[in-house]
Amino acid sequence: MRIVGVADGGGITVGSLAGDGSVTLIAGLEEFWAAPAGWLARPPAGERVPKPRLVPPVLPGARVICIGLNYREHAEEGSYRDAGLPEHPTLFARWTQSLTVGGAPIPVPRDEEGLDWEGEIVAWVGRSLADADPETALAAVVGYSTFNDVTARRAQKLTSQWILGKNADSSGPLGPMVPAAEVGDLRDGLRVRTRVNGEIVQDGNTTDMVYPVGETLAHISRTFTLRPGDLLATGTPAGVGYARTPQWLLQPGDVVEVEVDRLGVLRNPIVGPGHRLLSREPGQQGAA
C-alpha cells in the first residue's frame, strides 16, 4: 500500500494511490485506516489539506447491525436478569452517520443526563452472504475493530425500539480494522476492557458471548443479503453505567477508552451538546 496522506503541522499532504486500488492514510507515524480507494475522499496528489477530519472508511450504503445482550453476564445485569436469554439474537441497527473515529469528541444530547459506554468488537463483512451456513459466514469476515456503542439511555428507553438511543450524533467510535487472520476466532477468547478516566468499568472476554459471529451472520443472511462493507457489532460485556447503583453516565470532560486484545485502544473525549455540529453531514465518508 502507498501513503495517501502524511500529517505535517496540522494538515495532510496527499500522495499517490497504489496500483491495486488500495490506499493508506497516515498521521505522523500512526496508521489510521487502510481501505479500498473508493472509501476515502481523494484530493489531487500534492495538494495540502488543512486540518483534515478523519471519519471511518465505511460505505454510505453499509448496514451497521448490532447484537444486544450478547454477553451472558451483561444480560444478567440488564433486562433479561429474570427472563433468561432469548433463543435468537436481539438485533438493532445504527446508521453510518452515527459513526466516528478514535479521538473524536462525542457530544451528550441536550435531553440526556449523560451517555453510557458499551465497549465492543465489530466484524467487517468482506463478501456477499445469502442463506449462508455459519462456517461460510465466518470465512467472509475480513477483519475486526474496536467499537464503542455509546448509548443515549433516556432516548433508548422511551419505547421498546432502541434505534433512537443508539444513533446519537458521533456516538459510534470505530477503531482501525485488523485483518481477521491476525485476530483469530473470537470464540478462542479476547479480553474486552472499557475505562472511564483511567478506571476500568468493563472487563470481559469474548468467551462469554452467547451468539457467535458466524452463526449470527448466517442467521441474518437468511432474511436479507449481507454485502461487502456491512458491519456487525458483537455486543458488550457486563459493567455498563445504567445498571450500576448509583447509575454512572459519561459527562462532558470524561474520557472513555475501549481496549481489546490484538485490536488496540479506542479513546474518545465526551463534550457538551453545543459540539453536535462536529457530527458528519449525511453522506460524508472518508478523510475530509
pLDDT profile of the chain (288 residues), mean per 10: 43 44 35 36 52 70 93 73 76 94 94 98 96 98 96 95 95 93 95 98 96 97 96 96 95 98 96 71 40
C-alpha pair distances (Å), 265 with each of 38, 239, 258: 26, 18, 6
Residue 120 lies in a domain: yes
Which residues make Cβ contacts (< 8 Å) with residue 202, sequence separation at least 6? Answer: 117, 119, 192, 193, 194, 236, 237, 238, 239, 240
pLDDT on residue 212: 96
- Examine the domain organization and report whether 45 and 74 are in the same domain: no
Q: Could you give the number of structural domains in the chain? A: 2
Do 39 and 59 meet the contact criterion of CB atoms below 8 Å apart?
Answer: yes
Domain that holds residue 34: 3-50
Task: Label residue 138 left, alpha or beta by phi (over 0 means left) and psi (-120 to 50 means alpha).
Answer: alpha
- Examine the domain organization and report whether 191 and 227 are in the same domain: yes
- Examine the domain organization and report whether 84 and 110 are in the same domain: yes
C-alpha pair distances (Å), 244 with each of 24, 76, 78, 194: 41, 13, 10, 15
pLDDT on residue 77: 73
Residue 256: strand, helix, or coil: strand
Residue 288 lies in a domain: no
Residues 68, 199, 239: CA angle, nearest 5 degrees: 25
Burial class (CB within 10 angstroms; exposed 0-12, middle 13-18, buried 19+) of 84:
exposed
Report DSSP letters for 196-242, one per residue.
Answer: ETTEEEEEEEGGGBSS-HHHHHHHHHTTS-B-TT-EEE----S--ST
- Examine the domain organization and report whether 39 and 117 are in the same domain: no
pLDDT on residue 20: 39
- Examine the domain organization and report whether 149 and 29 are in the same domain: no
Per-residue b/e over 18-53, b at no fewer than 16 CB within 10 Å?
eeeeebbbbbeeeebbbbeeebbeebeeeeeeeebe
Cell numbers linked to 36: 479500498
Residue 24 lies in a domain: yes
- Examine the domain organization and report whether 115 and 17 are in the same domain: no
- Pairing outcome for strands 141-148 and 119-125: antiparallel
Do 125 and 228 meet the contact criterion of CB atoms below 8 Å apart?
Answer: yes
Backbone angles phi, psi at 127, to 5 degrees: -140, 155
Extended beta strands in 41-103, E state: 48-50, 64-68, 90-94, 99-101
Do 117 and 150 meet the contact criterion of CB atoms below 8 Å apart?
Answer: yes
Cell numbers linked to 173: 467510535
Alpha carbons within 13 angstroms on the beta-carbon side of residue 209 total: 25
Residue 285 lies in a domain: no
Q: How many CB atoms lie within 10 A of CB 6?
A: 15
Do 70 and 142 meet the contact criterion of CB atoms below 8 Å apart?
Answer: no
- Examine the domain organization and report whether 80 and 113 are in the same domain: yes
Do 102 and 175 meet the contact criterion of CB atoms below 8 Å apart?
Answer: yes
pLDDT on residue 78: 63
- Examine the domain organization and report whether 70 and 163 are in the same domain: yes
